């Protein structure tokens, strides 16, 4: 399991939201690229980027900043937020991004996602954001009746690289990762799972590593890194995954 620092971008700034609420935003820097470089210098092997404006608008809004980051760091960069066309996927992959995350598109256009995975095998990540087990889309502004596990199973054996599973209720709240729900998803599908949402302390890393019936590809850590609740070097040391 690798530790994946999150760099969320809104209006060109590095921010964190609480439970995906755009009215509860904390700005952590005016230069997201510098933040990404900082995490790489501290040992990050991968960076998770989110275009928050794009996730609501349905098309990229911070693409120049994202491409700048992708080209300025020496590790793979995964990007989500507003990616709902093949044109956008191709643009990002041609400009330094290693993987793109499809969330809203995954529930609205299954054939599109499967086509993207076929054209770009191992480059497409499924983003599943859930509240009480049910999927939310469009930057978490719309809730659906679709169950997370049900959606994930639709994309087995079609070239999906991984699933980023986010517990919305815990995201940005530092209340502890939802290990049980994340493990249940990982055990239900044959796609590697990345845990996300609520990581508050090193104990959360320990809890994920202690799961016996499955293993996780990685865990995304956001606010806890920015507040200093977790030191990236300490989290990486827990996993034994050093660059």
The set of catalytic residues is 8, 129
Which residue is associated with the tokens 């956001």?
Answer: 222
Q: What angle do CA 212, 185, 151 make, to 5 degrees?
A: 165
Give the residue ranges of DSSP H helices in the chain.
32-41, 52-57, 63-72, 86-94, 104-108, 110-119, 148-153, 179-188, 202-209, 223-227, 232-239
Q: What angle do CA 134, 195, 49 make, to 5 degrees?
A: 95
Which residue is associated with the tokens 């590095």?
Answer: 14
Cα separation of 88 and 82, whole Å?
9
């Amino acid at each position: 399991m690798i530790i994946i620092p999150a760099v969320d971008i809104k209006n060109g700034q590095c921010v964190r939201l609480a439970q995906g609420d755009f009215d509860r935003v904390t700005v952590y820097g005016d230069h997201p690229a510098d933040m990404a470089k900082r995490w790489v210098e501290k040992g990050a092997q991968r960076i998770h980027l989110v275009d928050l404006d794009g996730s609501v608008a349905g098309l990229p809004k911070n693409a120049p900043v994202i491409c700048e980051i992708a080209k300025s760091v020496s590790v793979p960069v995964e990007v989500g937020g507003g990616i709902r066309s093949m044109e956008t996927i191709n643009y990002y992959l041609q400009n330094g991004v290693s993987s793109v995350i499809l969330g809203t598109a995954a529930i609205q256009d299954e054939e599109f996602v499967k086509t993207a995975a076929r054209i770009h095998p191992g480059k497409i990540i499924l983003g599943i954001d859930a509240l009480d087990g049910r999927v939310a889309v469009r930057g978490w502004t719309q809730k659906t009746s679709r169950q997370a596990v049900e959606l994930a199973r639709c994309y087995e054996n079609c070239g999906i690289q991984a699933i980023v599973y986010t517990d919305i209720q815990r995201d940005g709240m530092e209340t502890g990762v939802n290990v049980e729900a994340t493990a249940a998803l990982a055990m239900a599908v044959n796609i590697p799972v990345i845990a996300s949402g609520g990581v508050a302390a090193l104990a959360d890393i320990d809890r994920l590593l202690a799961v016996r019936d499955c293993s996780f590809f990685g865990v995304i850590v956001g606010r806890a890194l920015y507040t200093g609740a977790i030191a990236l070097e300490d989290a990486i040391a827990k996993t034994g995954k050093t660059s």
